[in-house]
Amino acid sequence: MNTAHVVSSREVVKLDGITHSFKTRLGGPAVQALRGVDLTITAGRSLGLVGESGSGKSTLGRVVTGLLQPTGGTVEILGRPVSGKNAMKRTPGSVQMIFQNPRASIDPKLPIWRAIAEPLRVGGYSSRRRDIDVLLDQAGLGSAYGDMYAHQLSGGQCQRVAIARAVAAKPKLIVADEPVSALDVSVQAQILNLLKDIQEESDTSFLFISHDLGVVRFFCDDVAVLYLGQVQESGSTEAILTNPQHPYTRALASASPTLLSAATGERIILAGEPPKPDNPPSGCVFHERCHQYLGPICTQTPPPMYPTDSGSARCHIYAPNTSD
């Protein structure tokens, strides 16, 4: 028996001050993709990570799975620090990843059953064909699919294979990076339902990355909103999406047809493009596009996270009034 999963901790993942800079060629400015991310996911909870393209969602997902070493801050998995010098102390299999493009994540040269079995074998888990057939069955594919190859499967079927492979080692955490974005709309709901079943039947936690707030609302207990590598707002999904407090979250929610009326009642147009991470604005990183701009404090002073009615938000609007 693999004893790795006996370790119990309420906190499955704890990120403290995570930064990540990508070095660029020819000594250009580094791309600071993450700038001080603090997040916690507890056992059995599902955290949605939302934000525009380029906000750092995938980089954070890769840091959590260990595919990327953060340049600063600490990652704790199941109460154990695993970043920096401790990178090798990760418990094999405890964190699994599901990618946006399922076909690219499956070895095209292996029959499906072997593509699922191989990482299991490497991790010291049972990888017999009949165990793989059970996994395929749970993922909504018959065992006959085990003899096929990735190119013979549809995108949705490939994502079912990737999900079967991810759950095989009974991970404590699954990082799913836009797991349905590349699929036909009709298939998206089926895959989301499969993930939801897994979430409800196991105590697996999820870091669920998506730009689609409707999907996050369906799937996630909690949500964190990323902008230019910084969490701008976090709290329970219901509170944040029905009563967003940060001007950026308000704008995102107002762009979602299903959330518009609950969030703001009117469409808020985000002016311009997100700033480039190699040249971030001073003060609040969102101030250039903010429809609730207060004044010089927004251009000069980076706001900390303040408590709000819906959780917490990185915005000067919520600074406690010190004059009374």
Handedness of CA 241, 268, 51, 295 (dihedral sign): negative
Does position 94 interact with ligand ADP (CB under 6 A)? The reply is no
> With binding defined as CB under 6 A, does residue 57 bind ligand ADP?
yes
Q: Output the smallest distance, CB 58 to Mg ion, in A.
A: 3
Cα 320 from Cα 324, distance rounded (Å): 10
Residue 45 contacts which entry, Mg ion, ligand ADP, none (Cβ below 5-8 A, type-dependent): none
Which of 21, 46, 55, 58 binds Mg ion (CB under 5 A)? It is: 58
DSSP character for 79? Answer: T
59 binds, among Mg ion, ligand ADP, none (CB under 5 to 8 A by kind): ligand ADP
Q: Which region among 50-58, 154-162, 197-205, 230-238 touches Mg ion (by CB under 5 A)?
A: 50-58
268 token code pair:
């808020």
Residue in 8, 53, 279, 322 binding ligand ADP, rule: CB under 6 A: 53
> In this chain, which of 58, 100, 210, 234 binds ligand ADP, going by CB under 6 A?
58
Query: Are β-strands 222-227 and 46-50 bridged in parallel, bridged antiparallel, or unpaired?
Result: parallel
Q: Closest approach of Cβ 137 to ligand ADP, in Å?
A: 33
The secondary structure of residue 259, as a DSSP letter, is T
Q: Per-residue string for binding with ligand ADP, 223-262, x by CB under 6 A?
A: ----------------------------------------
Q: For Mg ion, which stretch binds (CB under 5 A), given 55-63, 109-117, 161-169, 233-241? A: 55-63
Question: Is 284 in contact with 314 (CB distance < 8 Å)?
Answer: yes
Tell me the helices (H) and strands (E) count for the chain, helix number first: 10, 12
Q: How far is the CB of 304 from ligand ADP (least distance, A)?
A: 22
C-alpha dihedral (229, 241, 293, 306), degrees to nearest 10:
-70
By a kind-dependent CB cut-off of 5 to 8 A, residue 51 interacts, out of ligand ADP, Mg ion, none, with ligand ADP
CA angle at 54 for the pair 293 and 50, rounded to the nearest 5°: 70
- Residues in contact with Mg ion, counted by CB under 5 A, come to a total of 2
**Rounded least distance, CB 135 to Mg ion, Å:** 27
The structure tokens listed for 13 are: 């993942």
What DSSP designation does 78 have?
T
| Stretch near ligand ADP under the rule CB under 6 A, chosen from 48-56, 99-107, 118-126, 180-188 | 48-56
Q: How do beta strands 31-42 and 80-81 pair? A: unpaired
- The verdict on 179 binding ligand ADP (CB under 6 A) reads no
For the record, the structure tokens of 275 come out as: 């700033």
- State how far the Cα of 155 lies from the Cα of 169, in Å rounded to an integer: 23
Give the H/E segment covering residue 159. Answer: helix 155-168
Give the nearest distance from C-beta 38 to ligand ADP in angstroms.
Answer: 17
Q: Which residues bind Mg ion (CB under 5 A)?
A: 57-58
Residues in contact with ligand ADP by CB under 6 A are: 22, 31, 33, 51, 53-59, 277
